[in-house]
C-alpha cells in the first residue's frame, strides 16, 4: 500500500550546490541552492528567490560559478545557505575560504571546492516574483585530487544531495550500476 502526500519538492537527488557571485563593487558572495540541475547539454538551471543578494548580483554582473558541496565542505556550505549576504558581510571569509577571480566569467571561484562550473547568465525567466536562472557553462574546474583516469570521480568528490523531506544532507558517491547497460537484459534479440 502507498501513502499519499501533499505536493512537495521531494525529487531525489537534489544537488547541494554553492553559487558564487560578485556584487557591483567586486565583493564576493556565496549561497547554497538545492533547486538546480542541468538545463541542457552545456547549461545549468537554478530557481532563485528574488530576495537573495545573489539575484541582485546576477542582474549586475551576468555571471556566476557553481560548485558542488561535498562531505568535506558540508559545514561551510550549510553556513552559506543559513545566513544571508543581505545581513552578513564576508560570508566566504567567515568560514576561512578563499577566492580567485574566474578566468572565464566575472565571478569568484572558491578555492576550497574541488569541482566548479564557470557560467554566464543566458536568461532569467520570471516565475512570479522569483527567477529561473539559466547559465551557459563556459568552463569547468576540477582538482586533480578528484580525478580518476582524467575524469571527475564521485567517490573522490563525495558530493552532497539535499534531502528536503528530512532536512538532511546525503552523500552521493557509490556506484551501483552502469548507465545504458543495466536495462539491456530487457532488450529482445
Domain coordinates in residue numbering, the chain? 14-186
Percent of the chain with pLDDT over 70: 100
Which run of H or of E encompasses 45?
Answer: strand 43-48
pLDDT tens digits, 42-51: 999 999 999 9
SS3 content of the chain, % helix, strand, coil (to 5): 20, 40, 40
How many other CB atoms sit within 10 Å of the CB of residue 86? 11
pLDDT tens digits, 48-80: 999 999 999 999 999 999 999 999 999 999 999
- In this prediction the pTM is 0.93
For residue 175, whether the previous peptide bond is cis, meaning omega lies within 30 degrees of 0, is no
Question: CA 153 from chain center: how many Å?
Answer: 17
14-186 belongs to CATH 2.30.110.10 = yes
pLDDT tens digits, 111-133: 999 999 999 999 999 999 999 99
Q: Average of pLDDT values for 90-115?
A: 97
- Taking alpha carbons only, the member of 32, 9, 27 closest to residue 84 is 32
Provide the edge-to-edge strand list for the sheet that holds 14-15.
14-15, 160-163, 168-171
Find out whether 21 and 108 touch, Cβ atoms under 8 Å. Answer: yes
Amino acid at each position: 500500500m502507498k501513502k499519499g502526500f501533499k505536493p512537495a519538492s521531494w525529487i531525489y537527488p537534489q544537488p547541494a550546490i554553492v553559487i558564487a557571485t560578485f556584487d557591483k563593487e567586486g565583493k564576493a558572495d556565496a549561497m547554497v541552492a538545492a533547486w538546480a540541475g542541468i538545463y541542457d547539454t552545456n547549461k545549468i538551471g537554478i530557481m532563485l528567490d528574488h530576495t537573495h543578494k545573489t539575484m541582485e548580483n546576477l542582474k549586475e554582473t551576468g555571471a556566476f560559478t557553481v560548485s558542488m558541496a561535498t562531505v568535506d565542505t558540508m559545514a561551510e556550505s550549510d553556513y552559506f545557505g543559513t545566513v544571508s549576504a543581505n545581513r552578513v558581510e564576508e560570508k566566504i571569509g567567515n568560514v576561512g575560504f578563499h577566492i580567485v577571480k574566474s578566468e572565464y566569467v566575472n565571478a569568484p571561484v572558491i578555492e576550497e571546492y574541488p569541482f566548479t562550473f564557470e557560467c554566464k547568465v543566458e536568461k532569467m525567466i520570471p516565475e512570479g516574483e522569483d527567477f529561473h536562472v539559466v547559465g551557459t557553462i563556459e568552463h569547468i574546474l576540477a582538482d586533480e585530487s578528484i580525478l580518476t583516469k582524467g575524469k571527475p570521480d564521485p567517490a573522490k568528490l563525495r558530493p552532497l544531495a539535499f534531502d528536503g523531506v528530512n532536512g538532511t544532507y546525503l552523500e552521493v558517491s557509490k556506484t551501483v550500476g552502469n548507465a545504458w547497460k543495466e536495462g539491456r537484459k530487457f532488450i529482445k534479440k
